[in-house]
Structure 1
Amino acid sequence: MRVAIAGAGAVGRSIASELVDYGHDVILIERDPTKVEPAQVPQAEWVNADACELASLEEIQVQDCPVVVAATGDDKVNLVVALLAKTEFGVARVVARINDPRNEWLFNEAWGVDVAVSTPRVLAALVEEAVAVGDLVRLMRFRGSETNLVEITLGEQHRLVGSPVAELSLPRDTALVTILRGERVIVPTPDEPLEANDELVFVANDEAETELRELISHRE
Structure 2
Amino acid sequence: MKVMIIGGGKVGTYLANYLLSEKHEVRLIELRPEEKPRILLDVPESVIYFGSGTDPDTLEAAGIRKMDVVAAVTGIDEVNLVATSLARFEFMVPRTIARINHPKNAWMFTEVNGVDVALNQADLMAALIAEEMSLGDMITLHKLRRGKFDLVEEKVAPNAIASGKKLKDLKLPDQSTIVAIIRSGELIFPSGDLQFEPADEVLAVVHSSQKKDLAKFFDRVI
How would you bin the TM-score normalised by the shorter chain?
A: 0.7 to 0.9
Over 3 Å counting, the alpha-carbon distance change for 1:181 and 1:204 in structure 2 is: farther
Distance of 1:123 and 1:65 partners within structure 2: 30
Contact 2:161 2:218 in 1 (8 A): no
2:205 aligned with 1:202: yes
Q: Which residue of 2 aligns with 1:97?
A: 99
Q: Which residue of 2 aligns with 1:171?
A: 173
Q: With structure 1 as the length reference, what TM-score do the two structures score? A: 0.75
Contact 1:174 1:203 in 2 (8 A): yes
Over 3 Å counting, the alpha-carbon distance change for 1:137 and 1:21 in structure 2 is: closer
Q: Which residue of 2 aligns with 1:190?
A: 192
> Which residues in structure 2 correspond to 1:119-130 (within 5 Å)?
119-120=121-122, 122=124
Contact 1:138 1:148 in 2 (8 A): no
Q: CA deviation at 1:132?
A: 7.3
Q: Which residue of 2 aligns with 1:76?
A: 78
Contact 1:179 1:199 in 2 (8 A): yes
More displaced, 31-40 or 102-111?
102-111
Letter in 2 for 1:16: A
Over 3 Å counting, the alpha-carbon distance change for 1:69 and 1:128 in structure 2 is: same
Q: CA deviation at 1:193?
A: 3.4
Q: Which residue of 1 aligns with 2:32?
A: 32
Q: CA deviation at 1:168?
A: 4.0
> Which residues in structure 2 correspond to 1:35-184 (within 5 Å)?
35-37=35-37, 38-40=39-41, 41-42=43-44, 45-120=47-122, 122=124, 134=136, 144=146, 147-149=148-150, 151=152, 153=154, 154-179=156-181
Letter in 1 for 2:35: K
Q: CA deviation at 1:23?
A: 1.3
Distance of 1:105 and 1:179 partners within structure 2: 41
Contact 2:97 2:115 in 1 (8 A): yes
Contact 1:67 1:92 in 2 (8 A): yes
Q: Which residue of 2 aligns with 1:3?
A: 3
- Cα distance per residue 1:25-71 (max 9 Å; x no partner): 21110112222345221165101111122222222221201111112
Letter in 1 for 2:114: G
Percent identity between the two aligned chains: 33
Over 3 Å counting, the alpha-carbon distance change for 1:10 and 1:159 in structure 2 is: same
Distance of 1:152 and 1:66 partners within structure 2: 31
Q: Any idea what SS the aligned residue of 2:97 has?
A: strand
More displaced, 15-24 or 169-178?
169-178
Distance of 2:183 and 2:122 partners within structure 1: 27
Distance of 1:42 and 1:66 partners within structure 2: 21
Q: Any idea what SS the aligned residue of 2:85 has?
A: helix
Q: From the CA coordinates, give the structure whose radius of gyration is larger.
A: 2
Q: With structure 2 as the length reference, what TM-score do the two structures score? A: 0.74
